Amino acid sequence: MTTEPVLQLRNLRVYYGTSGRPVRAVDDVSLEIGESEVVGLVGESGCGKSTLGRGILGLLPEGARAAGEVNYLGRNLLSLPPKAVRRLRGPELGLVFQEPMTRLNPLLRISAHFRETLRLHEPQLTKEQARRRSLETLGRMGIPPTRFHQYPHEFSGGMRQRIMIALALVLRPKLLVADEPTTSLDVIVEGQILALLADLKRNFGTALLLITHNLGIVAEACDRMAVMYAGKIVEEGTVRGVFAEPAHPYTRELLRSTISLDTTELHSIPGAPPNLVDPPSGCRFHPRCPNAMRVCVDQVPIEQRLADGRRVQCWLHGPSQRVPAGGEAPLEQPVGVADEA
Amino acid sequence: MRPEPVEAQATPAFDEPLVSIRDLRTYYTIRGSFLDRLVGREAGIVRAVDGISLDIRRGEVLGLVGESGSGKTTLGRALLGLVPATSGTIELEGREVTGLSERQRRVLRRRVQVVFQDPHASLNPAMTIGEAVAHPLRIHGLERNREQLRRRVVDVLDRCGLAPGADFLDRYPSDLSGGQKQRAVIARAIILNPALLVADEPVSMLDMSVRARVLELMLSLKRDFELTYLYITHDLATARLVCDRIAIMYLGRIVEIGPADAIYADPKHPYTQALLRAIPEPDPTRAVPRDLPRGEVPDAALPPLGCPFHPRCPHAFEPCGWESRDLRELLESRWTRLAGDPLVEQEQALVGDLGVLARPTPEVRLPAPRGRQAEEIVALLDRIRAEAPDEPFWRGVERLTAEGSHVRLDFHMPKEPLLEREGKADVACHLYTEPS
């Protein structure tokens, strides 16, 4: 990235719950998103990807604590007062959730949703300007102007998600965080929405963090990707690079277990994702890893940068001088059938 | 009447299908406002399953594939006797399933079991895994000896990959991962040794890394216990790995049915083709912009005339069922494309209220608003046509004229496509019917 990143996470940690046994949902994560860039954040349920998205926007539930840096255009949001972060949410940082049904006010017409949003954040616009901007944004998302005055219940699920995206984009934010935006939608509608999201940079110049569990969506819509496992980003790089040659065994196994139309053989990863109260020692993936070595059991991997600029946290990629003698010996794993998921 | 599936006619008696469904319809009435309900007035009917005939053969995995609202789940529930059939018949092992009393249905449930999508909601959080899996045997009074009961539960848990089974007896659902819970649900379903297992999206809530293992378990159980599956899903990618035959549903009907190989190698119906095209490809070198049908599954209370897929179909032509609402869609999508352009408001003022197009009919009489001429509207429509003459809508238009103060638009008469043999599959699409 030649220009300054829109968003830069540095050593971000988010813990939930009591000080005794906190859930370490996001644990020392660093990530950058450049201007107009589409970055996919992939991982399985409970890996902390949604918490990461909420942490960026300052929308963590009560009882959660965040540490580290969330730098938005050079300002650390974690050190700003909540009021200042709230002012950024909307005009600067947009958000699209998974369930479009629950995010629109059923008592307000679509036009009222847009009027409210624009009046709050861009009070200088005249009524006519606000209306025109709303209709234009809705149009690009495929919502007919004839339906501007209807209520949320009069729209289908896919239409509601388009409206939600339009509602975020009408303020022209620099960054949009979309958390599983297509998960509750049908496959054809999902494809339509992905096409809209992939066009964001051309149409709106917005950077996008797309949080998903679906690697097909990442391949389709993203420039770069970060793979999250048990609270950590274990690999990050260009989508083409990672798919062509995954560096982390988890990425590789996840790609192999993804079922697509070309899948001829079923493949899965032994065991199940760990809980984050008491994650495995060393590398958190080691109990499920087919390449695990002795060093992986008690030494936390050190992030390495590969030749193509990729970042990876795995002892297979070194640094070898930090591996204790005999640490490279393969780990004998008792695959307990009881851990079978 | 729809023709009977070809295989049903040809099947000799000794190889009779496990399940035989004939012209099944399941309609839900929707009641409107509180007042409507008070006076017993009905606001409409949703034809969730609208005239389906199919056989499920012994030992096969039949995939029932469609989007939400296609009626696939309702069909599965009708098989379980969980929703009543409005008309038609379902025979299981030669016995009629529809219209059974609760007591008779209990006998049926020994033969047909179900696995639902959400394993977290399928297990009672206050019951141990041992109690939950033993429950069907207790309910049906099939095992009274406590030691025998325990042994059977341990066996089935072992068999379903929760091994050693004895270790799981006293655990609660909250101690198990999603994949383990689904294994327990499957164990509970097969402990009665059913003939048919209805699996409604059994892996779509599981993590990618464990889906394959649950599918493998289902396939190996099928072999060992001579099970037959109805595999209900929206996901053609997983269906390809487990199904012998595939039925594609759209708005309550089967639009294509045939051997899985044929459906994937050479999909005939434009909807099947679209479903296959829509699956995101996990390969960034091949991710190209895809040509997807517009819009979404329409309201099943007022389905499109003719072929229910025609408004979204890129190949639709004269007989497919063009009607008033398609004109509305044409204008709205034009205005959506032009959103923000002052032209839109001029055109909206000229055409007037589109509400008159809400009632489905192949003859449209559109009144010109006060002070405007019908000829102006016809001229606008001609202009729209000239801009995009290849739009399928225009193939459906038989005549467009101004008649006094009205615009008259006649479409070709709608025809419902019927399931007919095309290659190795049966498909309901006019592209494959001989013009009559």
Q: Could you state, in order of their start, the residue ranges of all structural domains in chain A?
A: 104-169, 251-339
The pLDDT > 90 percentage for chain B reads: 71
pLDDT of residue B33: 66
Q: How far is A330 from chain B (nearest CA, A)?
A: 23
Tell me the mean pLDDT in the region B174-194: 93
Q: Mean per-residue pLDDT for B304-332? A: 95
Task: Sort B349 into a burial class: Cβ within 10 Å, 0-12 / 13-18 / 19+.
Answer: exposed
| Record: contact A272-B210, CB cut-off 8 A | yes
Domain coordinates in residue numbering, chain B: 322-411
Residues of A within 8 A of B168 (CB-CB) are 338
In chain B, residues with a C-beta closer than 8 Å to the C-beta of A227 are: none
Contact B210 A45 (CB under 8 A): no
Closest-CA residue of B relative to A255 is B282
Q: Are strands A311-312 and B420-422 parallel, antiparallel or unpaired?
A: unpaired
By Cβ distance, the residue of B162, B213, B275 closest to A187 is B275
Q: Which one-letter DSSP state was computed for residue B75?
A: H
Among B68, B162, B335, the residue with its CB nearest the CB of A144 is B335
pLDDT at B37: 62
Each residue's pLDDT tens digit, A167-209: 999 999 999 999 998 887 888 888 888 888 888 877 788 999 9
Average pLDDT score over chain B: 90
- Residue B128: the pLDDT is 96
Instruction: Select the residue from A114, A143, A266 to test the B interface by mutation, using most B Cβ atoms within 10 A.
Output: A266
Cis ω on the peptide bond leading into residue B164 (within 30° of 0)?
yes
Say how many C-beta atoms besides its own lie within 10 A of residue B289's C-beta.
10
**Residue B149 pLDDT level (bands cut at 50, 70, 90):** very high
Residues of A in Cβ contact (< 8 Å) with B352: none
Residue of A nearest to B166 (CA): A338
Q: Does B227 score more than 70 pLDDT?
A: yes
pLDDT value at residue B436: 56
Distance from the B224 Cα atom to the nearest Cα atom in chain A, whole angstroms: 19
Structure confidence at residue A1 (pLDDT): 44
Q: How far is B375 from chain A (nearest CA, A)?
A: 23
Q: Where are the alpha helices (DSSP H) in chain A?
A: 49-57, 82-88, 110-121, 127-140, 157-169, 187-198, 200-204, 215-221, 239-244, 249-257, 295-298
Q: What is the pLDDT of residue A197?
A: 87
What pLDDT, on the 0 to 100 scale, is given for residue B423? Answer: 93
Considering only CB atoms, A266 lies closest to which of B180, B236, B241, namely: B241
Task: Please list, residue by residue across B27-45, b when 16 or more beta carbons sit within 10 angstroms of its beta carbon and e when fewer do.
Answer: beeeeeeeeeeeeeeeeee
Rama region for A68: left / alpha / beta (φ>0; ψ in -120 to 50; rest): left
Q: Give per-residue pLDDT as tens, A292-307.
A: 999 999 999 999 999 9
Query: B339, A136: Cβ pair inside 8 Å?
Result: yes
Chain A residue with minimal CA distance to B285? A240
Closest CB to B337: pick one of A139, A272, A337: A139
Query: What ranges make up the beta strands (E) of B86-244?
Result: 87-92, 95-96, 112-115, 196-200, 228-233
Nearest to B339 among A145, A158, A261 (CB): A145
DSSP bridge pairs for B256:
B248, B427
H/E stretch holding A7? strand A7-16
**Contact present, B140 and B106 (Cβ < 8 Å):** yes
Residue A235 three-state SS: strand
Share of chain A above pLDDT 70, in %: 96
Cβ atoms of A301 and A236 within 8 Å: the answer is no
Contacts of A217 in chain B (CB under 8 A): 280
B357: which DSSP letter? Answer: G
Is the per-residue pLDDT at B257 higher than 70? yes
- Above 70 in pLDDT, residue A115? yes
- Cα of first residue to Cα of last residue in chain B, in angstroms, is 18
Query: In the predicted model, what is the mean pLDDT of residues A152-172?
Result: 90
CA distance A60 to chain B (A): 24
Cis peptide before A290 (omega within 30 of 0): no
Which residues touch B389 (CB under 8 Å, ≥6 apart)?
A: none
Q: Are B307 and B256 in contact (CB under 8 A)?
A: no
Q: Which residue of chain A has the CA closest to B216?
A: A266
CA distance B45 to B87: 14
- Whether the per-residue pLDDT at A339 is higher than 80: the answer is no
Q: How many CB atoms lie within 10 A of CB A23?
A: 21
Q: Chain B interface, mutation test: which of A186, A193, A255, A284, most B Cβ atoms within 10 Å? A: A186
- The arithmetic mean of pLDDT across residues B48-62, rounded, is 95
Chain A CB contacts of B237 under 8 Å are 259-261, 263
Q: What angle do CA B335, B339, B340 make, to 5 degrees?
A: 135
In this complex, the residue of A44, A145, A338 whose CB is nearest that of residue B335 is A145
Closest CA to B272 of B56, B165, B425: B425
Inspect the interface and report whether the beta carbons of A188 and B293 lie closer than 8 Å. yes
Rounded to whole angstroms, the Cα distance separating A273 from B66 reads 30
Q: How far, in Å, CA of B105 to CA of B100, rounded?
A: 6
* A220 closest CB neighbour out of B235, B281, B335: B281
**Average confidence (pLDDT) over B159-163:** 91
Please judge whether A135 and B340 are an interchain contact, meaning their C-beta atoms are less than 8 angstroms apart: yes
B13 has a pLDDT exceeding 70: no
**B125-141 pLDDT, tens digit each:** 999 999 999 999 999 98
Model confidence band, residue B35 (pLDDT cutoffs 50, 70, 90): low
Cβ of A268 and B211 within 8 Å?
yes
> Helices B270-278 & A187-198, crossing angle to 10 degrees?
50
